[in-house]
Amino acid sequence: MVKFSIRALNIWFDAVHALKNVTMDITANEVLSIIGPANSGKTAFLRMLNRLNELSENFRMSGEVKLSRGNIKDMDTELLRKRVGMVFALPLPLPLSIFGNVAYGIKMHGIKNEKRQREIIKQALKQAYLWEEVKDRLDESAFKLSGGQQQRLCIARTLALKPDVILFDEPCSGLDPISTAKVEEAMLRLKTDYTIVLVTNNVKQAARVGDKTAFFLSGELVEIDKTDKIFTTPTDKRTDGYIRGKFG
Amino acid sequence: MRNPKRAEKIAFFFLFLATLLIVVPVGLIVVIIIQKGSPAINWQFLTDIPRQGMRAGGILPAIVGTVYLVLGAIIFALPIGVLSAVYLSEYAKDNFLTRIIKLAIINLAGVPSVVYGLFGLALFVVFFRFGASILSGSLTLGIMILPIIITTSREALESVPYSFREVSRSLGASKWQSISSIVLPNAISGILTGTILGLGRAAGETAPILFTVAAFYLPQLPSSIFHQAMALPYHLYVISTQVPNVDEKIRYGTALVLLALVLFMNLVAIIIRYKFRKKKKW
């Protein structure tokens, strides 16, 4: 089943043509890894899916992006971002308590009942493998957690909104290998219920967790295919060069 | 400079000297005012009306007048200042017009206070027919401190990391939800710093209240915002220059009370700010 269908997508930031004529589909309940060197348009692509690019005044686009057949342009951004959650490169807790961070999204969407909030938060923290570590200190500042814990908190914060899709923007770039393994484990288990799009600089990570892999270069989608295929017999020479570490 | 140790010593000397040059006069002013003014301070001085052509009695009407004026100015300027700062730093597009407006507001903070006084006279006293009254004086002082409050509030808002706004929006919060629940709570201590600065300025200025509210002598306390009032800085000016043979200790006592009043109001704001800082989670 196709979750996102992207047709002839172009993105500009002022005069910079960040994404060039990208057409692809994102399948539901899979992990799609997006790899490519810096400035290849990976993050601009990811931030297109929840319309976060629109926070920049110099953003322009053409083409269309459909989420389950509805054009995201016609959707209410607040509801779209509730359905399409995002985890950022650096762990970015909000200046609130652990509880406050996970509760933030659902509060903003009108869930005021504290008992209901507590249930949702417990479930989200469990899904992000953080509950056992924080259950006794939910009222502490989120900044007291370690980097890896903060990143799992950010995942829980997104999960609390019960999204369809979760976007990960290089979620492990600031983490040590053990924290990285925990975040990857969480991603693999989450894909049964969610569609996951993972932008990563780490080619090996893409190979480990991606069902499909897309390779971006200078704003173009070079190739998208099953991860096994990309990593064994890629169609394009440039893909081959990148995953073998010849550039990027 | 061949010898870095000697350069270090010379740099230290001049940096220290500059600081000393600031600290010493401030300290002297405070010491002199306390020394000469404290003999005048007693219960009657703080609670009585001026008597014998302001050469005896107390200064209560001036104290009350100044408190009313400062509170009025803050009630007027704080909400408007903060709201316009939010608009300027969060909503307004960063274009030529916005930059001009921001620059103009910064420059307004440097306009001489007597100009605000004349402006208040023309607008509030004459045009709106509020007459010389606490209302006119408060509004004039409020307009005078608006640029200070707007500028410091904008700085406070802009010091909240952009990533907080982005994260909040990515969780489906609207722009205003992000501002009201994340940005503003984390900017409050900076906003209060601006308020403290404005408060001190409003309490101490004479020129803006000269034409808009200040009374030479009133034997009773003001009972409505449409009445005139005495105020400490103007009273100090009057007893120092307009009334002959006022005892020195009464003049310095009045200055001391004004100083203490501003300090007390600042202290309240500082305590509020401290409470908010303690709640801050980062």
Q: What residues of B are in contact with residue A52 (Cβ under 8 Å)?
A: 166, 169-170
Q: What residues of A are in contact with residue B177 (Cβ under 8 Å)?
A: 108
- Report pLDDT digits (tens) over B8-48: 999 999 999 999 999 999 999 999 999 999 998 888 888 88
Token pair of B115, please? 């100009």
Picking from B240, B241, B260, B261, the residue whose alpha carbon sits closest to that of residue B250 is B240
Rounded (5°) CA angle B184-B187-B190: 145
Q: Supply the range of the domain harboring residue B61.
A: 41-278
Residue B53 has pLDDT above 90, yes or no: no
State the average pLDDT over residues B122-145: 93
Residue B181 within any structural domain of the chain: yes
Residue B45 within any structural domain of the chain: yes
Q: Contact B172/A105, CB-based, under 8 Å? A: yes
Residue B78 has pLDDT above 70, yes or no: yes
Residue A21 has pLDDT above 90, yes or no: yes
Q: What percent of chain B has pLDDT over 70?
A: 98
Provide the pLDDT for residue B161.
92
Residue B102 within any structural domain of the chain: yes
Q: Which residues of B108-119 are buried (b: 16+ CB within 10 A; e: fewer)?
A: bbeeebeebbbb
Provide the pLDDT for residue B281.
55
Q: What residues of B are in contact with residue A78 (Cβ under 8 Å)?
A: 172-174
Residue B193 has pLDDT above 80, yes or no: yes
Provide the pLDDT for residue B70.
94
Q: How many residues are recorded in chain A? A: 248
Residue B1 has pLDDT above 60, yes or no: no
Provide the pLDDT for residue B270.
85
Q: How far is A215 from chain B (nearest CA, A)?
A: 25
Token pair of A246, please? 């010849």
Q: Contact A94/B172, CB-based, under 8 Å? A: no
Q: How far is A13 from chain B (nearest CA, A)?
A: 16
Which residue of B93, B166, B282 is in closest CB contact with A95?
Answer: B282
Looking at this predicted complex, what is its ipTM? 0.89
What one-character-per-residue DSSP string does B154-217 give? HHHHHTS-HHHHHHHHHTT--HHHHIIIIIHHHHHHHHHHHHHHHHHHHHH--HHHHTTTB-S-
Walk across the sheet containing A70-71 and list its strands. Answer: A16-27, A2-13, A59-67, A70-71
Residue of chain A minimizing CA distance to B90: A55
Q: Contact B171/A79, CB-based, under 8 Å? A: no
Residue B91 within any structural domain of the chain: yes
Please count the structural domains in chain B. 1
- Specify whether the CB–CB gap between A8 and A187 falls below 8 A: no
Provide the pLDDT for residue A52.
93
Report the C-alpha gap between A202 and A167 in whole angstroms: 16
Residue of chain A minimizing CA distance to B160: A95
State the average pLDDT over residues B116-129: 93
Provide the pLDDT for residue B109.
86
Q: Contact B170/A52, CB-based, under 8 Å? A: yes
Q: Contact A105/B182, CB-based, under 8 Å? A: no
Q: Which residues 80-99 on chain A approach chain B with CB closer than 8 angstroms?
A: 80-82, 85-86, 88, 90, 92, 94-97
Token pair of A178, please? 């053990």
Q: Contact B163/A96, CB-based, under 8 Å? A: no
Q: How far is A46 from chain B (nearest CA, A)?
A: 12
Provide the pLDDT for residue B159.
92
State the average pLDDT over residues A37-65: 92
Report the C-alpha gap between B186 and B189 in whole angstroms: 7
Residue A240 has pLDDT above 60, yes or no: yes
- Report pLDDT digits (tens) over A92-134: 899 999 999 999 999 999 888 889 999 999 999 998 888 999 9
Chain B residues whose C-beta sits inside 8 Å of any chain A C-beta: 93-94, 163-174, 177, 181-182, 185-186, 280-282
Residue B244 within any structural domain of the chain: yes
Residue B18 within any structural domain of the chain: no
- Report pLDDT digits (tens) over A209-238: 989 999 999 999 999 999 999 998 889 989
CATH number at residue B163: 1.10.3720.10
Residue A248 has pLDDT above 60, yes or no: no
Rg (CA), chain B: 23
State the average pLDDT over residues A1-15: 92
Residue B36 within any structural domain of the chain: no
Q: What is the pTM of this model?
A: 0.84
Q: Contact B281/A52, CB-based, under 8 Å? A: no
Q: How far is B269 from chain A (nearest CA, A)?
A: 23
Provide the pLDDT for residue A247.
67
Provide the pLDDT for residue B154.
94
Provide the pLDDT for residue B151.
93
Report the C-alpha gap between B178 and A94 in whole angstroms: 11
Q: What residues of B are in contact with residue A86 (Cβ under 8 Å)?
A: 170
Residue B72 within any structural domain of the chain: yes
- Report pLDDT digits (tens) over A167-216: 999 988 878 888 888 888 888 888 888 999 999 988 889 999 989 999 99
- Report pLDDT digits (tens) over B157-187: 999 999 999 999 999 999 999 999 999 999 9
- Which residue, among B93, B170, B174, would best test binding to A if mutated, counting the most A CBs under 10 Å from its CB? B170
Q: What residues of A are in contact with residue B163 (Cβ under 8 Å)?
A: 88, 90, 92
Q: Contact B177/A108, CB-based, under 8 Å? A: yes
Which residue of B164, B166, B172 is in closest CB contact with A79?
Answer: B172
Residue of chain B minimizing CA distance to A154: B167
With an 8 Å Cβ cutoff, is A8 touching chain B? no
How far is the CA of B261 from the CAs of B91, B105, B258, B265, in angstroms? 37, 28, 5, 6
Token pair of A139, please? 């009222």
Provide the pLDDT for residue B165.
94
